[in-house]
């Protein structure tokens, strides 16, 4: 594989040139398969090295210990896959955003794939405006899942759902029901249910593992043999896709 980027990617540094720090870009990428096991900090380093391999110079902060500006929206727990990851970063050179996905994808490790790139400066909202995140939580049983569907619908019908939440300050029981905006259940195949859940991801936020914890606590009979979590979207306060 040729690791070098085709020279066509860089647009000429002409009159549009702006100071390094202002070439802010946003990347929409996926993190699936083996990459779901890459931790947040490791992912930052992995991306930084991919930029270097692609010869896309990142903008560095000034000062004694310069570091590149890289920021991932709402980092996920290790083990959670995502089709909707956002990265904000600054480039030191002007680059055609449409050429970015192709040139990064040939230097990224297995499971990390860039879907889109766009300038982040033109009136785009910043990550603080993210309020919700959409997930597909798949539950699987070795046998038919028919028995579980009704029970799960009842459990997530909107009534209070107290769950023990661990934080740095210790354990605390909270009601997660207000942190769930949408809950829908779709049978996918024999023994497999998909829960579409939109969970709080703003100032108050809900890790999808607590949805599973609620099942374990309140409906242990419905506990699946296997489960997997995929993030599919980030949304702003009114529920529109955050891009």
- Mask for 107-146, x = binds another protein (CB under 8 A): xxxxx-----------------------------------
Query: Among 9, 38, 117, 145, which residue sits at the site for another protein (rule: CB under 8 A)?
Result: 38
Q: How many helices (H) and strands (E) does the chain have?
A: 4, 10
Query: Among 11, 21, 28, 60, which residue sits at the site for another protein (rule: CB under 8 A)?
Result: 60
Q: Does 223 bind another protein (CB under 8 A)?
A: no
Query: Among 11, 55, 118, 192, which residue sits at the site for another protein (rule: CB under 8 A)?
Result: 55
Q: In whole angstroms, give the CA distance from residue 38 to residue 42.
A: 6
End-to-end CA distance of the chain: 32
Q: Binding segment for another protein among 12-20, 76-84, 173-181, 192-200 (CB under 8 A)?
A: 76-84
Q: Binding segment for another protein among 14-22, 104-112, 125-133, 190-198 (CB under 8 A)?
A: 104-112
Query: Among 20, 21, 28, 48, which residue sits at the site for another protein (rule: CB under 8 A)?
Result: 48
Write the CA distances from 40 to 74, 79, 158, 169, integer angstroms. Answer: 10, 11, 32, 22
In this structure, the number of other CB atoms found within 10 A of the CB of residue 166 comes to 10
Q: Binding segment for another protein among 16-24, 50-58, 113-121, 173-181 (CB under 8 A)?
A: 50-58
Q: Does 205 bind another protein (CB under 8 A)?
A: no
Q: What H or E segment, with its residue span, contains residue 235?
A: strand 226-236
Q: In whole angstroms, give the CA distance from residue 167 to residue 75.
A: 16
Q: Which residues 6+ apart lie within 8 Å of 94 measured at CB?
A: 10, 11, 12, 13, 16, 17, 18, 23
Instruction: Report in angstroms how near the CB of residue 140 gets to another protein at its nearest.
Output: 8
Q: Residue 85 or residue 235: which is nearer to another protein going by CB?
A: 85
Q: In whole angstroms, give the CA distance from residue 10 to residue 204.
A: 41
Q: Does 105 bind another protein (CB under 8 A)?
A: no
Contact 51, 61 (CB under 8 A): no
Binding site for another protein (CB under 8 A): 3-4, 33-39, 41-42, 45-46, 48-53, 55, 60, 66, 77-79, 107-111, 226-228
């Amino acid at each position: 594989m040729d690791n070098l980027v085709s020279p066509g990617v860089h647009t000429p540094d002409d009159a549009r040139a702006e100071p390094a720090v202002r070439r802010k870009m946003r990347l929409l990428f996926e993190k699936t398969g083996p990459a779901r096991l890459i931790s947040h900090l490791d992912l930052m380093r992995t991306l930084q090295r991919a930029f270097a391999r692609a010869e896309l110079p990142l903008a560095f902060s000034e000062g004694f210990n310069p570091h590149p500006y890289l920021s991932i929206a709402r980092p996920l727990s290790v083990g959670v896959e995502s089709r909707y990851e956002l990265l904000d970063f600054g480039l030191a050179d002007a680059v055609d955003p449409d050429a970015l996905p192709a040139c990064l994808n040939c230097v990224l490790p297995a499971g990390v794939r860039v879907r889109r790139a766009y300038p982040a400066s033109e009136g785009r909202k910043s990550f603080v405006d993210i309020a919700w995140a959409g997930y597909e939580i798949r539950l699987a049983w070795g046998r038919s899942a028919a028995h579980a569907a009704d029970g799960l619908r009842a459990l997530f019908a909107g009534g209070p759902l107290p769950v023990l939440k661990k934080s740095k300050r210790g354990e605390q029981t909270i009601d997660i029901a207000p942190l769930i905006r949408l809950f829908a259940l779709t049978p996918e195949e024999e023994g497999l249910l998909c829960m579409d859940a939109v969970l709080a991801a703003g100032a108050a936020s809900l890790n999808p593992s607590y949805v599973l914890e609620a099942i374990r606590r309140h409906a242990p009979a419905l506990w699946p043999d296997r489960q997997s979590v995929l993030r599919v979207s980030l949304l702003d306060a009114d529920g529109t896709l955050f891009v």
